[in-house]
A and B are shown apart, each in its own frame.
Chain A
Amino acid sequence: MTTNSLVPAPIAQLPWKLIFLIIAIGTFGGLCLYSAAGGSIRPWALTHFIRFFALLGVAVGISYISPQRFRDLAYPAYFVLLILLVVVLVIGVVGGGARSWLDFGPIRLQPSELMKPVMVLVVASFYASLPASEIRKWSAIWPPIALTAIPAALIILQPDLGTCLLLLFSVATVMFLAGLPMRLFIGAGVAVAAAIPIAYNLFMMPHQQKRVLIFLNPEDDPLGAGYHITQSKIAIGSGGLFGKGYLNGTQSHLHYLPEQHTDFIFPAMVEEWGLIGGLFLLICFALMFRWGMAVALDTKGRFERLVVSGLTMTIFFYFAINLLMVMGLAPVVGIPLPLFSYGGSAMMTVLICLGIMMAIDRDNRRDRRGL
């Protein structure tokens, strides 16, 4: 894709394959939100489309920024967001039981969301600056841990366990890719596994313990805390191979499926589109992640490859946790399906991530052309 007389070069250079995937997912999400509202563009579908295309424009805009700028801006953005996280805790808006929003009139900002890509940039930036020989030393470990611990603590105070976990997973992924000794990860994994029963017994509130038990056996409490999972599986399972047909989902339209516009949009979609629709969406996402990992492997710069792979994994964690949750393979934590669910903050985060990845991809290809 070098020169084409019909299409102007700046447009031809866009990663069209990725953009089509993004549009496919976002549009499909919008269609499902239209159905979830009972065949109405209000209250979700219209807002979703406007937000989606606006943020997609922003992402394409970001793709023109040079990767070096992200590296320069990483630490300043990190500190600004830290301050905002503190401000949120002090004067934030309470929504869904957590104090995580800042209200700026028409725009409500959730600093914890923006922190996810910025955290990846900061940690990637740290490892890019670290001399290769230092990687096995203690000094390669504690700075990123300290950098992560502060926002993680502020987020858990909101309290927003889901976002906090995503942040930790993303940072851990970047550290893993940076080449820290393998035994650290194995050791940490063993430690977490050992800590789970202790944490369960000592630190978890009874309602949290209950949630874990119910995750293990949702049918035990079909009307209580297991309700979400049970109804979600009913929605998915009753769809069958081809689904009940668009706008014909009973689980979602009769409100048996809770939060069918955000966390549980996927079962609402599968109910109407069946296994075919579900697999289509899985494939779209899989191609998106493949694109991300391919860009990371193609990229030469240490910062850039850590950023691209880290951001890919960030989006992947959204995707994986949400779907594992709605299929009853993970406990219910409030994490939306990126680009597909209704909700501005997660969409903004994901599209910013994609924008940064596209920017690196663009830079990457320009380098290659230059060679």
Chain B
Amino acid sequence: MRKRGIPLITENSQSYTFTRRAMVLGGFQAGIAVLLAGRLSYISIAENERYELLSEENRFQLVLVPPRRGWIVDRHGQPIAINRSDYRVDLIPDQLKEPERIIPQLAQLLALPPEEVERIHKELKLAAGYQPVAVAENLPFDKYAAVTLRLPEMPGVAPLRGFSRFYPEGAAVGHLVGYVGAANKEEYQKEKNPLLITPGFKIGKEGLEKVMEQRLRGKPGAKRLEVTARGKLVRELASVRDTSGGTLPLTIDAGLQAFAARRMGEESGSCTVLDCHTGDILAMASMPAYDPNAFSDGISTSEWKMLSEDERRPLLNKTLNALYPPGSTIKPMVAMALQGAGVDPSDTIFCGGGWRLGNRFFRCLGRHGSVNMHRAIAKSCNSYFYAMGNRVGYDTIAVMARKLGLGVKYDLPVVSQSYGTVPDSEWKQRKYKQKWTASDTLNASIGQGYLIVNPLQLAVMAARLASGRDVNPRLIGTGKAAAPIDAPPEHFETVRKAMWEVVNGDGTAGRSRLPFPDIAMGGKTGTAQVRRITGGQRGQSGDWKYRDHGLFVCFAPTDNPRYACSVVIEHGMGGSRAAAPVAKDVLTYLFDKEKAMQALLPMEEAWGGNVAQRMQRRANQWLAANGKAPGA
């Protein structure tokens, strides 16, 4: 540094200062140059690998190729759920610059109803980043092409060719297979799988589609795209093929399933058919149902509203999740329990229209005179079961009920099952802190009171009675014959004979014999009260929702049982009237398809068309009643 004091500044000293300071600047320049060279070397040598990767990441975009969903097929390989080629249009929120201009333009090109436009706006508000918002699916090619052509002027619009799930049988398999839909935010959060937010990718939302999701989904493929900074495709590079999801073979007989669903007609209820040796579920129809195809396209709010407001509850899987008092259908099971407890089948009871317990008189539906076990089942005599139930006690019967599959939750690939109640004294104490009474026994002995079951359990009970085997229901693959139940075969024989009588002899379901000379069906009708009997009201008239349920369990052929079946018709008023005829036709289908179809077609004509046609008509009626335009 320069000296303190007053410096003498001359031309010379100034020149010296200049030289010195120029050297400083030269040093500064050299310093910057070294800094730059060092930084340059550092970035291009030490950080080369990292930046090379980043440059590749820039340049290449990995695009997931969604796998095709595995098929769901029936026991014979006939498809139940397949994939159809589908043209669709999505919006990518992050790339959408002028929604006010583009959405109306799209709505016009695709002829979207105002309801859909509203939905798109709403979803767009909730959508984050690159999660696509569906504009329209299942587009005809010309509309898809119309959008593709105008793509350059519509940034953020993504037309796509993909696959959509298709269920050829529609509503007939609705509750069985469930449906698919685009993953929601929670589902994505849970799995963090980028595949879930790929446009058009659907996951199982209900039924088998949901439970078997991982098996059906498959593995996504990938495409490497070289793109410019503005997202323009330069070229497509090697890609990894996607692996389709595995085919899921069901125990279901698709033809039988469809027939059962159609045969239910306008009724609300369920029909379950089992192979009574293996437990294979051949049909599990619950009607009315939703059309799963409607869900895979994305269901509209009004469609959803219509379904959820319908008193016949089309959203409820009635085979698994509806619970009913089984009524008289459990009498064969009670008969098994009685025999097990030492009641001789030939023991008789006198039925004079009911049975007295203390000062209460428990009514029978008729005056059956002297009845033994065989006749009590055939005529469905309550008095016999009141008396005998009272004799052995319900705790004994409950054991047999569980042994035959009531009150049991089965190991099935389903989203949920309600398994009802098989009551006993211990249960009542636990639940109500009350002692089990003799009148509880009487009510439960005729399938009322605390006893509630689901239709699948009734079918399993029928299957176990029919085969004497400890069958458990199965939905996937094919099973082996189950082991025999620990009970004397002659007990089963007594019960089966009585059930033969119900249908083929002097029984309650005499009108529902199978139309074959050599094949007979054994069964048991049931009628379940929906509300308490008051005055003259016996649940046989009045408002639909207060009428009794009609139930029927059966098996065939009686000489060597192969199939077991349960039918529940909600508010059908009686088992013999509503449920047994359905069972008859469904079992007929198993032995002679043509004969069964011949019976069905005139019925469908009377109901006003097949399932899809009737559903469409109902939907239009609903829309009209709610002031909306009918759908396509």
Contact = CB atoms under 8 A, between A and B. Distances in A.
A234 B51 contact: yes
Contact of B229 (A254, A313, A329): A254
B227 interface: yes
A251 B25 contact: no
A182 B2 contact: yes
Interface in B188-237: 226-230, 234
Nearest to A235: B55
B36 A324 contact: yes
A177 B21 contact: yes
Interface string A90-126: 0000000000000000000000000000000000000
B43 A293 contact: no
Nearest to B33: A286
A327 interface: yes
Main secondary structure of the interface of A (DSSP, over half): helix
B22 A135 contact: no
A329 B10 contact: no
Contact of B44 (A135, A239, A297, A320): A239
A366 interface: no
Interface string A289-311: 11001001100001001100100
Interface string A243-284: 000000011001110000000000000100011001100100
B25 A293 contact: yes
Most buried by A among B15, B36, B226: B36
B429 interface: no
B21 A282 contact: no
A270 B43 CA distance: 11
A327 B39 contact: yes
A342 interface: no
B9 A237 contact: no
B contacts with A: majority SS? helix
B10 A132 contact: yes
B1 A279 contact: no
A179 B43 contact: no
A270 B230 CA distance: 23
A274 B44 contact: yes
A250 B44 contact: no
A47 B455 CA distance: 86
A313 B226 CA distance: 43
A316 B228 CA distance: 34
B36 A238 contact: no
Interface centre among A240, A279, A296 (most CB of B within 10 A): A240
A74 B277 CA distance: 111
A323 interface: yes
B44 A241 contact: yes
B213 to A, nearest CB: 34
Among B11, B17, B43, B228, the most chain A Cβ lie within 10 Å of the Cβ of: B43
B33 A282 contact: yes
Contacts of A250: 55, 58-59
A136 interface: yes
Interface of A: 132-133, 135-136, 173, 176-179, 182, 231, 233-241, 250-251, 254-256, 270, 274-275, 278-279, 282, 285-286, 289-290, 293, 296-297, 302, 305-306, 309, 313, 316, 320, 323-324, 327, 329
Interface of B: 1-2, 7, 9-11, 13-15, 17-19, 21-22, 25-26, 29-30, 32-33, 35-37, 39-41, 43-45, 47-48, 50-52, 54-55, 58-59, 226-230, 234
Given A237-B55, A250-B55, A316-B29, 12 more contacts: A132-B13, A177-B25, A179-B21, A182-B1, A234-B51, A235-B55, A238-B54, A254-B228, A274-B44, A279-B41, A293-B25, A327-B36
